[in-house]
Structure 1
């Protein structure tokens, strides 16, 4: 099998996959398709992925190959965000409510965390938001707390990373960055009032 054939197969796999495709899955599928005549290692597979990334970095494509969580997927390029936003605006049912976003951000930054701890931080119940987030598979149960009653602990999933287009939780903005943005927004608001 030629390199171009392997590239084409990897491209098709990533394209058709409904979730980010991991390197070990790609290796297994290529080897299965070649009926054992090809043996790829992780380094070779990552080289093929890099070639695909380079190919789709060309401005003639509206999408690119990116790492999301531990896998790879195609995503629309930033300069086509207006097209994506227009489409998603028509699918507002799939958007998260403010309460779901607040609950999700608490879970993302404090995980693993219990529902009681989330409610204590938010100051209100979060049953509905938790149900929505579990239904969308953005969070999952990650075990039980050692606290009295052994409440469930919750954390984010790989689907969470995919939903927000980040590779890992390390890519989340730090609370310090939020404070700096709030200060910038406040100073902008003050300037507008003064002018």
Structure 2
């Protein structure tokens, strides 16, 4: 058996080298391939130790939908922005509105999205969301034409740093007609 400090370092190297989120069971399997029979609670203790180690640094251990990963803390992201500033992949307002509707109202059809947005949904936006693996077809509505039902994926959650769809910020409450008029009079 290996001591907890060495186990922590081994798990740190796995997270650093993986380049993607790793599930606890995957860590256990990787350790097993090195003849280290470590139980899941010990792996979780080592992860907690890593979290404590990085508490005062720019790095953190983050649990997202697909597992655990090592990443730069959000407050240090601006320092890296010039390295990754790719202006060729700007995200449009229509793209963000579409993925937001899918995330909050899933599963939804293209028609549902168009009803909410009040405009037609570009085929390119849907294709782009599918290519990024942010959405997937989860089934088909039992309606004329059998429209596809879209929902978000674990990749979407990972890319937005979320563990589950329940971690999305709450939607603002809709204003009553009276409240909207009050705001117009004040403004």
Shorter chain as denominator, the TM-score bin is: 0.7 to 0.9
SS at match of 2:71: strand
Alpha-carbon distance in structure 1 between the residues aligned to 2:8 and 2:174: 41
SS at match of 2:146: coil
Alpha-carbon distance in structure 1 between the residues aligned to 2:74 and 2:45: 24
2:25 aligned with 1:24: yes
Alpha-carbon distance in structure 2 between the residues aligned to 1:49 and 1:150: 46
Q: Who is 1:97 aligned against? A: 92
2:113 aligned with 1:112: no
2:133 aligned with 1:137: yes
Q: Who is 2:60 aligned against? A: 64
CA RMSD of aligned residues (A): 2.4
- Number of residue pairs the alignment of both structures matches: 178
Alpha-carbon distance in structure 2 between the residues aligned to 1:95 and 1:75: 23
Q: 1:121-163 CA deviation, whole Å, 9 max, x = no partner?
A: 2222231111111111111111222222222211111111121
1:81 alignment partner, one of 64, 69, 77: 77
Q: TM-score, normalised by structure 1?
A: 0.81
Q: TM-score, normalised by structure 2?
A: 0.84
Q: Which runs of 5+ in 1 are unaligned?
A: 191-195
Following TM superposition, where does structure 1 have runs of at least 4 consecutive aligned residues deviating by more than 6 angstroms?
A: none
